[in-house]
Structure 1
Amino acid sequence: MPESKKIKCLVIDDELPAREILKKHIDGVEALELCGTCSNAVEAISFLKDNRVDLLFLDIQMPHLLGTNFLRTLKNPPKVIFTTAYRKYAVEGFELDAVDFLLKPINFERFLKAVNKILQVNLQGNDDMATLPENHSETLPPFLYFRANRKMVKVQFNDILYIEGLNDYIKIITVNKTIITKHLLASLEEMLPSNEFIRIHKSFIIAINKIESFNADSVEIGKKEIPVGRLFKFNLNKILNSTAASQAISSHPLKKNNGGSH
């Protein structure tokens, strides 16, 4: 990714181990660039005067000035992800329009979930993240990043066929590759557009427009027959019978299997 299009990050935390963990996480995401670290709000104020920053990873409980109070001093603050060991600050953090709120210790999976929110509002290279339009959700870039084989891999939504949950891991089947990564299926479900994907089983999420055939108990995508869980049948039937679903799958007309009706 070109340097000019990377999201420039500043880490503000009074604890060195916390700064090191965030630095490691940031270095693991191609779309992010660490432009500096600060141990307190005073250092951060000075840094922000001379440097462009798109995203703050901001600790709340710091000496002299709380991170929340520091953020209030900024006239045009960058996007912010709060980091703290204390849940009690969560409400105040979101009142300040934080993108996310990370509880320490911060694992990479949770970090990546927060970062993907930023990637989706960084409108395809828009350099001014602080002035995004309120209706930016209509133009979300259709992809997510996942860690696989010691690197971050971009996965386009329209390439995904289905996703299978494997305990603490998921297997993402796309039109041209398979990716296995450590991630919870329920967490990923929240990050996918609900008009394009649906969970049909405790272990499967499918792309609606990739369904080739279906019956009462399963759907077929490519050569894979995927079971429909009893608790998920109602939602699937509702989607398949809706006008929106008919439009979404127009490029792959559905045909009913002889095994039953939907």
Structure 2
Amino acid sequence: MNLNCIIVDDEPIARDLLRTYIEQVPYLTLAATCADAFEAMQALGRQDVDLVILDINMPRLSGLDMLRSLKRYPAVIITSAYPDFALEGFELSVTDYLLKPFSFPRFVQATEKVAQHRQALATPLTPAPSTPTSPTDDFIVVKSDKKLAKVFLRDILYVEAYGNYVFIHGDSDRLMSKQTLTQLEAQLPAGRFVRIHKSYIVSVKAVRFLEGNEVSLGSKKLPVGKVYKENLLTVLR
């Protein structure tokens, strides 16, 4: 699948670096290079664009203000030297937030998220045969980006707190919801999920092992708080 993308950045060096990165990714095609948000909006109006690689701090109109001004926009990857706008960016449904300077592998990781999402939308769904309802069919409904999202419990690896927001992490994606970790914890069955830290809840089935004050979920390791460790040990026994 090919993705037409545009670069939006007021710094020539940053634009050159992104152009070099794009040329090395087979499924990316550079459709336009824009020095500010106004050029970008014109480019979006002229052609079909699948991905906007967008800087935040630009003259006249910031990248985030540009997104707010648009009724619809394609997938967006934010590139910024400032981490402070990450939460605001995810509230606008950006796919990823790259903190400058970022490496080529990190850039590829972000663009692959866009490509995988596009592929999933393009793949027709085959109805599954009817089967009796089982615990693995259980789900919760959470509010995300002004929508109600259905999240299957079997797909949740862990949940991470971020102030008054939570990130629900799956194998290859994550979903943000405006609520506290305690509020989300009340929706999860205690036998299948356990609080391990003031900032984390994990799926019991996803825990590979406990070593010291860390749990391993495969390639991901998370800290275990002292006050939660005894309960975790009880659940794992």
TM-score normalised by the chain length of structure 2: 0.52
Instruction: Output aligned runs, 1:1-262, within 5 Å.
Output: 5-123=1-119, 126=122, 231=211
Extract unaligned runs of 5+ from structure 1. Answer: 128-133, 138-189, 195-227, 237-262
- Residues 235 and 30 of structure 1: is their aligned pair in 2 closer, same or farther, counting only changes over 3 Å? closer
Identity value in percent: 39
Q: What is the letter of the counterpart of residue 37 of structure 2?
A: A
Q: Distance in 2 between matches of 1:96 and 1:73?
A: 11
- Max radius of gyration: which structure? 1
Alpha carbons of structure 1 residues 91 and 28: separation in structure 2 relative to 1, 3 Å? same
Once the two structures are TM-superposed, the CA of residue 192 in structure 1 deviates from its matched residue by 5.3
C-alpha distance in 2 between matches for 1:96 and 1:119: 19
What amino acid is aligned across from residue 122 of structure 1 in structure 2? R
> Deviation at 1:31?
1.1
For residues 9 and 123 of structure 1, do their structure 2 counterparts lie closer, same or farther at Cα, with a shift above 3 Å needed? same
SS in 1 for 2:61: coil
- 1:193 is displaced (CA, Å) by 5.7
Contact kept in structure 1, 2:9 and 2:35, CA below 8 Å:
yes
Superposition RMSD in Å: 3.2
Name the CA distance, whole Å, in 2 between partners of 1:8 and 1:74.
19
What is the deviation of 1:234?
9.1
Contact 2:209–2:216 under 8 Å retained in 1: no
Check 1:233–1:56 CA distance in 2 against 1; reply closer, same or farther (3 A cut). Answer: closer
**Which amino acid is the alignment partner of residue 20 of structure 2?**
K
Q: CA deviation at 1:235?
A: 7.2
Q: Unaligned 5+ residue runs, structure 2?
A: 124-148, 153-168, 174-207, 219-237
Deviation at 1:126? 3.4
Q: Distance in 2 between matches of 1:39 and 1:104?
A: 17
Q: Distance in 2 between matches of 1:235 and 1:33?
A: 36
- Asked whether the equivalents of residues 6 and 49 of structure 2 are also in contact (C-alpha less than 8 Å), the reply is yes
1:119 deviation in Å?
1.7
Residue in structure 1 matched with residue 179 of structure 2 by the alignment: none
TM-score normalised to structure 1 length: 0.48
Deviations along 1:45-73, one digit per CA (max 9) or x if unpaired, are: 11111111000000000000010000111
Q: Give the drift of 1:105.
A: 1.2
